[in-house]
Amino acid sequence: MYIYDQYDQRIVDERVAQFRDQTRRYLAGELSDAEFLPLRLQNGLYVQRLAPMLRIAVPYGLLSSTQVRKLAHITRHYDKGYAHVSTRQNIQLNWPLLEEVPDILAELAGVQMHAIQTSGNCIRNTTTDQFAGVAADEREDPRPWCEIIRQWSTLHPEFAFLPRKFKIAVCASEEDRAAIHAHDIGVELLPNAAGELGFKVLVGGGLGRTPVIGSVICEWLEKRHLLTYLEAILRVYNQHGRRDNKYKARIKILVKAMGIDAFRDAVEAEWALLKDGPSTLTENEITRAQSFFTSPPYAALDGRSSQEALAARAATDPIFGNWLARNTRAHRVPGYRAVTISLKATGIAPGDVTDRQLELLADLADRYSFGELRTTHQQNMVLADVEEAALYELWQHLQKAGLATANIGYITDLICCPGGDYCSLANAKSIPVAEAIQARFEDLDYLYDLGPVELNISGCMNACGHHHIGHIGILGVDKKGAEFYQVSLGGSQSKDAAIGKILGPSFSQEAVPDVVENLLGTFVSLREGEETFLQTYNRVGIEPFKERVYAKAD
């Protein structure tokens, strides 16, 4: 993974000193609430319903065991002993004290971490595939490019007061596991006709109040032009994005208003000033960034024999077999698998992890996965490089700690924002809805029979729970002061990206599990062969689901 040099460290240390000074001035009355607001937001600090919320950056989801231990220490010492994995692969603390945030940031800086630009109207954490570097369908490791974007966007002087937040995602594989169509900018590493890898650039995707799938602004961009091209897009947006209405301020609204062709022309005109200038990437820099993401020292293993042993073990221990089939996936290196650790046990807020679990995971990472862990935008964690021969032992450790729920990709592995229990923006609670759905689908045989279903819950329009791109999306809405839930169907976050369609009138919280059960019952009755929920939906459309769900409502 990327290791700071003296420059990176100095920048992060100076940021801590700056925020310590800002906090002091705020508490002394020298900075007003209005002035402190964007300053604290750009350091990840929200003021929430119950306490401040601090969002810690996990650049493209990669963590060392040392960093995970530090996070465990921070949650125990400064918070209530647990942390939350967000849909931007970041880590959130729900109960820090404002006065102690500078100390937390100093602790983080000690392990090469920070909270820079994890909120506010600026460029946020760049996200990518949680299986980067180990996926078999990868064209090139996306993480050096994420790191190059991270450095360029960190404390960028021109883009700290944008019209609205700005999110970038990078995909480098056949399957899109980074939801690049739902980002302000999505870049995909792709070969041109000559076979040379470059970037396809999408712009103007996003969720929120007006969900939009990104448009192609550039079919293929030479790698060295990445930063100047991004800078040109941001400069057009910063100058022309709407600032009169925060709901119309994202770049997707500007791209729609101008049309993609006129927007492209404006970007090309800006790019002419920047192209081939000093921000053009050098071979040296690309090589330097790539040098941090080389393969760990994999053992030369006989994949076939370890798989036979696993199959035998799975046959005698079906609970392990379930976990093996659902929570591990193929690795590009024979004899290894990537393991997803489910943070979706029923009864625990989705994405929450305790200090002790974090410490255990750090130990397991050291023992089984070259000391690295990853966070995922589905709010789980990953040990990416585990020898197949060690899987049974690893599973036993995970099971004891409540971290072996075998549900990855199934309906109980749902994405869920913190919602009205914590967030002051939310219209409605989301965690109790998630829990009720998980409780309804506890029967694993039924769960597996349903096949992969992505269910995403957001407590408000801001769509932190990505409800628009869930196969089933649930959105908390406010109806005359009461909490209701709107359901949508058919969203997708992969390359066939789609925004879900609203089913109809919204439901009370108690009704949601029945509604979900009815939706899945409809699917089961209409399913042909081994169709997935999304395939059946795409074949039959929304009507049969609507009829069944609203049939008894009158």
Interface ranges with other proteins (CB under 8 A): 5, 7, 10-11, 14-15, 17-18, 21-22, 30-31, 35, 38-39, 121, 151-152, 154-162, 227, 235, 238-239, 243, 273-274, 277-279, 281-282, 284-285, 288
Write out the E strands in 293-390. Answer: 328-330, 336-341, 352-354, 372-375, 381-387
What is the nearest approach in angstroms of other proteins to the Cβ of residue 263? 16
- To 10 degrees, the CA torsion angle through 54, 59, 60, 63? -90
Nearer to other proteins, 35 or 175 (CB): 35
- To 10 degrees, the CA torsion angle through 475, 479, 483, 486? -20
What is the nearest approach in angstroms of other proteins to the Cβ of residue 5? 8
Nearer to other proteins, 5 or 510 (CB): 5
Nearer to other proteins, 134 or 232 (CB): 232
What is the nearest approach in angstroms of other proteins to the Cβ of residue 208? 19
Q: Yes or no: say if 349 and 431 are a contact pair by the CB < 8 Å rule.
A: yes
User: Which run of H or of E encompasses 120?
Assistant: none
Q: Yes or no: say if 36 and 22 are a contact pair by the CB < 8 Å rule.
A: yes
d(CA 70, CA 381): 16
What is the nearest approach in angstroms of other proteins to the Cβ of residue 241? 9
Nearer to other proteins, 76 or 240 (CB): 240
Q: What is the DSSP letter of 282?
A: P
Encode 152-183 in three state secondary structure: HHCCCCCCCCCCCCECEEEECECCCCCCHHHC
What is the nearest approach in angstroms of other proteins to the Cβ of residue 530? 49
391 alpha carbon, distance to own chain's centre: 26
Nearest to 524 by CA among 441, 451, 473, 439: 451
What is the nearest approach in angstroms of other proteins to the Cβ of residue 15? 8
What is the nearest approach in angstroms of other proteins to the Cβ of residue 144? 12
Nearer to other proteins, 18 or 535 (CB): 18
Nearer to other proteins, 182 or 227 (CB): 227
428 alpha carbon, distance to own chain's centre: 21
Q: How far apart are the first and last CA of the chain?
A: 57
Nearer to other proteins, 112 or 438 (CB): 112
Nearer to other proteins, 282 or 305 (CB): 282
What is the nearest approach in angstroms of other proteins to the Cβ of residue 554? 49
Q: Yes or no: say if 213 and 531 are a contact pair by the CB < 8 Å rule.
A: no
Q: How long a stretch of residues is the chain?
A: 554
